[in-house]
Structures are given as structure tokens and as C-alpha cells.
Chain A
Amino acid sequence: MRILILLFLLLSPVSGHAADAIALDSSVFVEREVPAAGGKTETVLEEPKVVIPGDRLVFILQYRNTGTQSAKDFVVTNPMPAPVAYQGTSDTVAQVSVDGGKTFAPLASLKVREADGAERAARPEDVTHVRWVLREPIAAGAQGKLSFRGIVR
């Protein structure tokens, strides 16, 4: 929360005129299988302490309108960190790009061209950017959470 406040301070217009401000917080967790009662395993999100190739990560973006006016045409874009392969999202508004952020669409409709010129359906690891387009304005004080999964290459 300290980070959010700090961001708010950084992002607030100096003039004090417009009070529109969006705070956006990025965090990452490691998804692990841990033993649970009854011999089962359960999936938990941990603060990353040790991260190795093959680990599954969950990236969380939390936004909040800290201003007094609503913000509209709200779009959040997250370039994939190079060492991470995209593994999907449960956010239905999310679209992805496989061309460095030039074009966005649901993954299933995207194609990539191989070095030999052959075209194939895009795979999760081809994703370069994730984008969320929210149609409704974000009212003053409103907040929300966006997330996607990745795996350490």
C-alpha cells in the first residue's frame, strides 16, 4: 500500500487543478503446489523467494482511481518480460499481441510467421504484450485487479 501512496504522489498533477489520477501497482507471485491435508496438494501463491526456470508466475496489476473524477477509455498494457513465457489469463477482456504490441487480438485468432515463411497459429510463448481494454469508465475511488500467468523460460 505504501507503493500505491507513493505512486499517487508521483502521479498527481503538481498544479492541483485536475484531480484525475490512476494508481497502478505491479506485483508478481510464484504459484506452487504444496501438500495439503488428506494427501492432496493445493496451489498457493507465494511471495517469490527462489525462482528458477520452469516456475509458474502470476502477475497482478491493481489499479485505483485516486482522483475525484472518473477516467474513461481505460487501457492497461503489459509487455511480457523477456524471460517469461505467457501462460494465459482468466480476464475475458484481455487481448494479446505477438508482434511487439502493434496489433492485439485474442490469442486463438493470431498467427505468426516462422523464419521459413510458413504461417502457424500463435502459441502462448509467442505473446509479447498483454492488454486490457475496459469499456466502462473508472469512477473516482473505484479499483480493480488484472492478472495473467507466465512461466520462467
Chain B
Amino acid sequence: MLEGNFWAIKNVRLTLIAPLIVATASVSFAPRAEAAGTVAGSTIANTATANYTDSGGNAQTATSNTANLRVDELLDVAVTSADPGDIPTLPSGVNQVASFTVTNTGNGSEAYGLAVTTALGGDQFDPTTTSIVLDTNGNGVYDAGVDTVYAAGTNDPVLAPDASIRVFVLSTIPGTAVNGDRGQLSLAAASRTITGAPGASANGQGQGGGDAVVGTSGGDGSANGAYVVQAANISFTKTSSVVDPFGGSKIVPGSIVTYTLTATVGGSGSLSNVAIADNVPANTTYEAGTLTLQGAPVTDATDADAGVFVPPAGVVPGRIEVTLGAVAAGQTRTVTFNVRIN
């Protein structure tokens, strides 16, 4: 409390001084930009100077003492999921990677203990955590055998103020999980110095010799991630129709057979690298330029479009190939081509 040494200003009359110069100079003073603020252990030193003219007309200077304050360590941490959404997985999947980011939002270098919780409500299964891995090479991607497996208390990540680290949680998915099931997990990071109610402090345990003070995060934080079982499947059908040279549908030499190939992706999620290939049947010849995808023509040549006709070579029959890429569940791709009966 200051009341005890409050000095009333009664012996001087303070007069407003008109501004002498309106400054438009640029600033040379760069404020610290870190979100975490002044680094723990820094000293705030304040000194003032008085200039005056003494009775003999001489300029005099008086310098104050320096009031020093040491900035204490604020313990704060933020954990976020680094996955764009639920992580697609399959029943009995192993080493399924969930990614998190742990950021030191305090103002001192701090070690964090990490722990995973999977017994969370609102989901259909609990993934089994097999390991927590630190992104040691800092590339943001889990590299088996390269990134370091975390061992609590042994290699707790130590983060400078504002620094962050990517953390991977590897899980096994129960074999009983079925299509559409979700399983959540939570990664928690806790300051090794102390955690607790905001404002709680530990004497002398802060970086730089000051105290450690629990910030608004409580000194710990957590974030959820989720796996979702996306068991996509694919089914193919092939149908044909015939037009004979006389307008009928007899299978005679010269008849044109149109084959329709349909790929349907079921379940949930998507399938990647879907492709359709079909051999031109024996005793028929591919009709050039009749390949279509979703009703639109695609050229026979090997080029930017999805389809190609591969001509026969010796005993190997000719065939059509259409690359479909990733196809989401519920979608259908239809390919047609014509052959002429020899």
C-alpha cells in the first residue's frame, strides 16, 4: 500500500507547459513483440534524472536510485490438434498417428509432461495408445525410427517462450470398431514446475531466479483428436449391349458391342488410386475413339486425360485403362467403350 508514504504536492504549483515541438520523427524504439511477453528473469530497472539550475546559475543534475523489479516466470501452455479433422482409420489399425502441437505461451523456458487420455465420452471406441513420439526432426510429420519416443520424466520436451513442438500419438484401433465409429483421444501437457489455480506461485522456482506463477491456462492444457473408422469398399459391374449392322441386336461379324463398366464406392471415407482396366475380348477389335468416362469422351492417347487405349501386342490383347484417382464413398464412375466383332 502506498498510502503510508504518499507525499502531497503542496509546495509546488504545477503549470501546464505548452508543447514546444510536435515531433514527427520515426521511432527507434522497438517494443518486444513476443506474445509471451518479457522473458522471465529480466530486470525492470527504472532511473530518473532531475535537471535544474542552482542559485548560482549553474546547471545541476540529480540522478535517482534505480528501482529494480525482476520479472517472474509465467507458466502457461496451449495444446491444439494438428489434424485437419477426424483421422480416417480401419478396424485393428496399428500405429495410427494423431498429431498435436504444444506451445509454451508463458515467458520462461519450461519442461512439460505429456499424457494421453482415451476414456472420453461421446465416442464409440477407445483407441489404445502405443506411444507418444516427439517430432525430433521438426518436420511436422511422424517419421518412424527417426522421431524420438517420449518417456515421461526422461525426455520431457523443454520449450523456450513462444516455442512449440509437434507431438504424435500412435494408437491401435480395436478390431471390434465398425464403419463410422469414432474414438477420441486427448493429449495433455503440464508444466513440470507447478500447475494449479491461476496465480498460484512457487518461490524461487521460476527461470532466472524469480518465482514461478501459474497463468490463466493453469500451467497445463489439453486438446482432443479423434479417429473415425472409414471402411470404404468398391464394387464393379460390367454390362454390354449389341447393335448389329442391320439395326438389330444380333451377335454377328460387324456388330458393335458397347461395354459399360461401373465402379461404385460404398461404406464411408474414400478410396484412393482407383483405376479401371478391361481387356478387349478375343475376336473383337476396339473401335477407336469410343472410350468415355462419365459420359464424356476421353482420347485413346496417353495424355492428360484419365483414359488410354493400349493396342494389342502379339498375344497380349488390347485393353482400355481409366485412372479415377480418389473416389469418395457413395460415388460412382462409369466407363464405356465399343468393340467390333470380327
Chain A residues with a Cβ under 8 A of chain B: 3, 7, 11, 18, 20-29, 44-46, 48-54, 57-63, 67, 69-79, 81-85, 91-93, 95, 97-100, 102-106, 109-113, 119, 125-126, 128, 133-136, 138-139, 141-145, 152-153
Q: How far is the CA of A1 from the CA of B279 in the complex (A)?
A: 102
Q: Is the CB of A45 within 8 A of B31?
A: no
Among residues of A, the one whose C-beta sits closest to the C-beta of B30 is: A82
Cβ-based interface call for B211 (8 A):
yes
Q: Which of B14, B48, B73 contacts A26 (CB 8 A)?
A: B48
- List 28 A–B pairs whose Cβ atoms lie within 8 Å, in order of A's numbering: A3-B65, A22-B50, A24-B64, A26-B65, A26-B66, A28-B67, A50-B210, A51-B210, A52-B37, A53-B37, A54-B37, A72-B52, A73-B52, A74-B50, A75-B51, A75-B52, A77-B50, A81-B45, A83-B38, A91-B14, A93-B15, A103-B21, A104-B23, A111-B24, A133-B17, A134-B12, A136-B15, A144-B11
A97's nearest neighbour on chain B, judged by CB, is B23
Query: What separation, in Å, do the CA atoms of A84 and B46 have in the docked complex?
Result: 10
CA of A99 to CA of B24, assembled, Å: 9
B296 interfacial contact with A, CB 8 Å? no
Residues of A within 8 A of B14 (CB): 91-93, 134, 136
The 10 lowest CB-CB distance pairs between A and B, nearest first, are A53-B37, A103-B23, A69-B55, A142-B11, A20-B54, A113-B26, A105-B19, A83-B38, A26-B64, A24-B64
Chain B: interface residue total (CB-CB under 8 A): 63
Given A53-B71, A98-B25, A126-B31, 4 extra CB contacts under 8 A: A50-B211, A110-B22, A136-B12, A138-B11
Give B contacts to A, CB under 8 Å: 1-2, 6-9, 11-17, 19-29, 31-32, 36-38, 42, 44-56, 58, 60, 62-67, 69-74, 107, 201, 210-211, 213, 215
**Contact with B29, one of A49, A73, A93, A128 (Cβ below 8 angstroms):** A128
- B53 partner, pick from A51, A53, A71, beta carbons under 8 A: A71
Are the C-beta atoms of B13 and A136 separated by less than 8 Å?
A: yes
A93 touches B16 (CB 8 A): yes
Q: Are A77 and B62 in contact (CB under 8 A)?
A: no
Closest to B203 in A: A50
Query: Does A102 lie within 8 Å of B29, measured CB to CB?
Result: no
Instruction: Check A50 against B47 for contact (C-beta < 8 Å).
Output: no
Cross-chain contact A110 with B23 (CB below 8 angstroms)? yes
Tell me which of B17, B23, B72 contacts A111 (CB under 8 A). Answer: B23
Neighbouring A residues of B71 by C-beta, 8 Å: 51-53, 83, 152
Given A93-B14, A153-B38, residue A98 in contact with residue B52 (CB < 8 A): no
Q: How far is the CA of A59 from the CA of B47 in the complex (A)?
A: 10
Complex: A45 Cα to B20 Cα, angstroms: 34
Known: A52-B215, A136-B13, A143-B11. A81 touches B46 (CB 8 A): yes
Quick one: which of A59, A67, A136 contacts B46, CB cutoff 8 A? A59
Q: A50-B213, A52-B215, A112-B26 are in contact. Are A152 and B44 (CB under 8 A)?
A: yes
Residues on the A chain within 8 Å of B16, using CB: 92-93
**Are A24 and B42 within 8 A (Cβ)?**
no
Which listed residue, A52, A81, A134, touches B72 by the CB 8 Å rule? Answer: A52
Task: Looking at the assembled complex, report how far the CB atom of A3 sits from the nearest CB atom of chain B, in whole angstroms.
Answer: 5
How far, in whole Å, are A152 and B36 apart by their CA atoms in the complex? Answer: 11
Contact B52 A51, beta carbon cutoff 8 Å = no
Distance in angstroms from A25 CB to nearest chain B CB is 6
Are the C-beta atoms of B60 and A145 separated by less than 8 Å? no
Complex contacts, A105 vs chain B, CB 8 Å: 19-23
B64 and A144 contact, CB distance less than 8 A: no
Contacts of B46 in A (CB 8 A): 26, 28, 59, 78, 81, 84
On chain A, the residues within 8 Å of B107 by CB distance are 52-53
A51 touches B72 (CB 8 A): yes
Quick check: A77 and B48 within 8 Å, CB to CB? yes
Whether B1 contacts A153 by the Cβ 8 Å rule is: no
A71 touches B48 (CB 8 A): no
Contact yes or no, A44 B50, CB < 8 A: no
Q: What A residues does B1 contact at CB under 8 A? A: 44-46
Q: How far is the CA of A97 from the CA of B29 in the complex (A)?
A: 11
In the assembled complex, the Cα of A103 lies from the Cα of B26 at a distance in Å of: 11
Tell me the complex Cα distance, A89–B49, Å. 17
Using A7-B65, A142-B12 as known contacts, say yes or no to A77 and B49 having CB atoms under 8 A apart. yes
Residue pair A135, B17 in contact (C-beta under 8 Å): yes
Q: How far is the CA of A93 from the CA of B16 in the complex (A)?
A: 5
